[in-house]
Structure 1
Amino acid sequence: MRSLICVNLLAAGLLISLNLRAEPVPGPSESASLAPAPSSGDQVSAQLKTMLTDAIVKIGELEVWQKKIVEDEVIPQYQRFIRDYRQTGNRVSGVADLEILQNYLRFYAPKTLKFQNKKVLTILKVDTACTKCTASTPGIRDLVKNRLQRRGLVPVWLNDEEVSGFKGKALNDRVTELAKTKGLAGALVMQWGQVISDDIDDIHGEDKNYFTQSYLFLRDMEKQEGKLDLLENDRFETAVARLLTDSFSSLGAKLFQAAQMARMTTRKEVMLEISGFKDFQHYLKIRELLGMYFKNVGSIDERRMTKGRISLALQTDQSADDIRKQVAQAAQDPAIGQGHETAVKMEVQ
């Protein structure tokens, strides 16, 4: 009997031990490893990214190279493509800047450059006396290489020895000359370093200031130049990314303007009448939304304005029927009539 009790007690102890191992009680270290709740900054970033991705969908079908740029450049730099930003608590409002976004997605060397060679003579000129500057070189080199390759360009790296003694504008001119001599498509110069102040009365003399500047030359296209001033806590990589984004956005804008001018001789005028909007602000919102749906439409001019009715003249190489289809598609957008009792009417004449 005594041995039976001992066996039962042993079995019960074993069962308790197994249960404790199967369902452990979290200790302090396990609780600390749980993911924290999203911060307000994370929530704001998520809202802005969603705002941008929703706008990208309205652009239409993207090509493979454009999708790659959106994924690797646009979304990580979402702040560059949002305007009229406002924040109230954890809620934000703003507008995705479709004009800048579309311009940024226009340039692709295999389709844009007439010059057969797609190689770009590239140099990174860094202030070697600046530890912060030299430490950023590997990251900037990768960033520049990837940005060029996504545009169908091939970087050809230039050694400092070939341009020894050149800096600033003189360096830009020298690299451009070498690119032309070598029969390349263009030149890219990135320069960054520390700003040395000669002003002994500068009250901020102990603060360290830096600069980053870019120069992009491509054959048959306008030169793109930019410069940013940095503080000690700013990252060179972020500044370089911004300068390159601005350069390719500007190139895209120039391409769009050139295409518009080329179409002017073949374009005709199509009249669109809009009525039923509540007020002028509502009309401006409608016009902005229409711009997302119109394809190959140049200027949009307001011709006649009366109370509750506005006539627009569209310069386009499309037929009136094509414009009607795009207007009908836009009319399905709930944002056009959202929050307004009156029905908006849009008629192509």
Structure 2
Amino acid sequence: MQDLLKNNVIASQTRLGALEPWQKRIFDDEIVPQYQRFIRDYKPSSEGVTVEVDMDGMKKYIAFFAPKALGVDKPSLAVVVEGAQGCAKCIEGLSAYKRIARARLERRGFSVVDEKTPARLRGSPVGELQLRSREMAPEELDSAHAGERHFEVTLKFKVEAAGFGGFKRDDRSELMEEDGVENAAARLLTDALVELGARVLAASASNAGGARDGLLLTLVGFKNNEQYEKARTKIADLAGGTVVERTMARGQAVLALRGARASKDLRSALANVQLGFGTMSVTESDDETMRVEIK
């Protein structure tokens, strides 16, 4: 089954269109190794197994290239990757991931600077990536997990740029003793890079098309990028037209629906939509705006 899923992701490259060399490297070196992240769904069918690849997520993941987006050749980005002192699991896990994180950023055209970079080569960083890990204190755990060891990996990522309004993301992942710190860090950075790409694509669509936004839909209640993508895809399927991400914050996104069905018709279509992780419903709407909550 895993070979089938991986091969479907590899085959999907042709659906992305012509890729620039840096995009091809990202596809080969990042998307394929973490192919499971880009599988939206799979299920048995009369022809065997039908696999739905997350094309939208992949397009976003390969959308950002720092020199192109920022208009600066090899802009520098400050990177801090560290585990808390006294936590061997934290230090070893993030040390293993630091090289991978650096490679991901360099493929996107950044010049990575860290504590080992000489001052004369640091320049003026356009942003910063922080990945930190620590063991959680016993009092931070609820009673159901008393006596267990839990760890936390946090991500803080920001890029200052006028072209697409800049970017900032804070995220965290809690894991148990048997989970890998490097795997948690990888997931956090992947989700951040998908969101960064979405921001660039939205700005590009706005600048190039000049098209007027139709209905503005505020989506709230999703807990991670996977849930957001599933909800957004379902909205696009039910609304018709084009869905453009306008803004994204933790647990909330504003989507512009262009050429979509009328508000009253969409309200009916979005009544109690089951997503597998919750129910999506319209809580407020008028001719120009709509609020949709996932509970």
Q: Is the TM-score greater than 0.5?
A: yes
Q: Which residue of 2 aligns with 1:229?
A: 174
Shift of the alpha carbon at 1:185?
A: 1.6
Q: Is the 8 A contact 1:115 1:185 kept in 2?
A: no
The structure with the largest alpha-carbon Rg is 1
Shift of the alpha carbon at 1:92?
A: 4.0
CA distance in 1, matches of 2:71, 2:141: 52
Render the CA deviation track for 1:14-45: whole Å, top value 9, x for unaligned.
Answer: xxxxxxxxxxxxxxxxxxxxxxxxxxxxxx11
Render the CA deviation track for 1:177-215: whole Å, top value 9, x for unaligned.
Answer: xxxx96212111111111112279834322111111111
Shift of the alpha carbon at 1:155?
A: 1.4
Spell out structure 1 runs of 4+ moving beyond 4 A.
none
CA distance in 1, matches of 2:44, 2:87: 38
- Of residues 132, 136, 139, the one that matches 1:198 is 139
Change (3 A) 1:66 1:201: closer
Q: Which residue of 2 aligns with 1:94?
A: 51
Render the CA deviation track for 1:84-136: whole Å, top value 9, x for unaligned.
Answer: 23369xx6433111111100010011211134561111112311211211222
Paired amino acid for 2:130: V
CA distance in 1, matches of 2:142, 2:58: 44
Specify every segment of 5 or more residues in structure 1 that has no aligned partner in the other structure, as ranges: 1-43, 160-180, 268-283, 292-297, 305-349
Change (3 A) 1:115 1:207: same
Q: Is the 8 A contact 1:115 1:219 kept in 2?
A: no
Matches within 5 A, 1:1-349: 44-86=1-43, 92-115=49-72, 118-158=75-115, 183-198=124-139, 202-220=143-161, 221-265=166-210, 301=259
CA distance in 2, matches of 1:256, 1:137: 30
CA distance in 2, matches of 1:137, 1:201: 26
- The two structures, once aligned, show a CA RMSD in angstroms of 3.1
Q: Is the 8 A contact 1:191 1:212 kept in 2?
A: yes
Change (3 A) 1:66 1:199: closer
Change (3 A) 1:204 1:87: farther
Q: Is the 8 A contact 1:117 1:184 kept in 2?
A: no
CA distance in 1, matches of 2:54, 2:72: 31
CA distance in 1, matches of 2:30, 2:261: 40
Specify every segment of 5 or more residues in structure 2 that has no aligned partner in the other structure, as ranges: 117-121, 213-236, 244-255, 263-295
What secondary structure is seen at the aligned counterpart in 2 of 1:251? helix
Between structures 1 and 2, the one with greater helix share: 1
Paired amino acid for 1:248: L
Between structures 1 and 2, the one with greater strand share: 2
CA distance in 2, matches of 1:186, 1:211: 23
CA distance in 2, matches of 1:62, 1:203: 49
Change (3 A) 1:87 1:232: farther
CA distance in 2, matches of 1:247, 1:222: 10
Calculate the TM-score normalised by the size of structure 2.
0.65
Change (3 A) 1:265 1:202: closer
Shift of the alpha carbon at 1:141?
A: 1.4
Aligned residues with identical type, % of pairs: 28
Paired amino acid for 2:138: S
Q: Is the 8 A contact 1:191 1:213 kept in 2?
A: yes
What secondary structure is seen at the aligned counterpart in 2 of 1:198? helix
What secondary structure is seen at the aligned counterpart in 1 of 2:9? helix
Q: Is the 8 A contact 1:117 1:185 kept in 2?
A: no
Render the CA deviation track for 1:135-163: whole Å, top value 9, x for unaligned.
Answer: 2233121111111111111211137xxxx
Change (3 A) 1:140 1:124: same
Change (3 A) 1:127 1:200: closer
Q: What count of residue pairs does the alignment treat as equivalent?
A: 215
Q: Is the 8 A contact 2:76 2:123 kept in 1?
A: no
Q: Is the 8 A contact 2:9 2:38 kept in 1?
A: yes
Q: Is the 8 A contact 2:39 2:51 kept in 1?
A: yes
Change (3 A) 1:83 1:148: same
